[in-house]
Amino acid sequence: MATGKQPLRRKLRLAVGKNKGIPARGLVIPKELEKYPRGEIPEEYLKKVKTGGKLYHHAADAFNNLYDHAISEGIKLRNIGDYRPKAQVEALFLQRYSLKDQGRKPQITRKYQGKTWYLKPGMAPSASPDTGSPHDVGVAIDLGEDKKGQLVPLTEKARLWLCTNAPAYGFTLQSLPYLDNGQANPEHEWWHWQWAK
């Protein structure tokens, strides 16, 4: 049972086939943030979350309730990425992408400053600073799990729990793990959960 405020009840279409039961939704920018450039959210719109870091205040409240619910069921979530100011989005992008294809398979590209950039081998995708990310509007959090004080990737148990419970708090994945043709989606990130009102 959830602690704190009762979770929001929403209708959310879940995927079918290999993606059955996995909630995903595109980015929704909160209306009160639309007037600000991405990555330049004023501090008064941000709030600390219980895993450390900050999110847009309504997303933070929802996440903190989700976090309490997870703790009550033996799942300790850890923040590995939250609100990112513009400079941090660009630094992360430049760390992960190169103007030269270094042989990553499958290759993931981004457009930035009118050029094609290639994801380096061993790196997770990130957004182009030109297009922005759900992180730069404070509605996305990347999650790992705490196992005996060690940060580990989300376990299957935690992923299933989040797929079942996170939508009630407004959180879904950004993308589905499988493409329409059944192949693995190279852009999918099990750790990336984003909030939409």
pLDDT in tens, 147-192: 999 999 999 999 999 999 999 999 999 999 998 888 899 999 999 9
pLDDT, position 3: 40
Q: What is the mean pLDDT of the chain?
A: 91
| Single pTM value for the model | 0.86
> Per the structure block, which two tokens stand in for 23?
């909630």
Q: Does residue 1 carry a pLDDT above 80?
A: no
pLDDT band for 146, please (50, 70, 90 cuts): very high
CB 128 within 8 A of CB 119: no
> Where in the chain do CATH 3.30.1380 domains reside?
1-84+136-197
Q: For the segment 19-41, what is each residue's pLDDT rounded down to a tens digit?
A: 998 999 999 999 999 999 999 99
At 11, is the secondary structure helix, strand, or coil? coil
Q: Which CATH architecture has domain 1-84+136-197?
A: 2-Layer Sandwich (3.30)
Q: Are 11 and 172 in contact (CB under 8 A)?
A: no
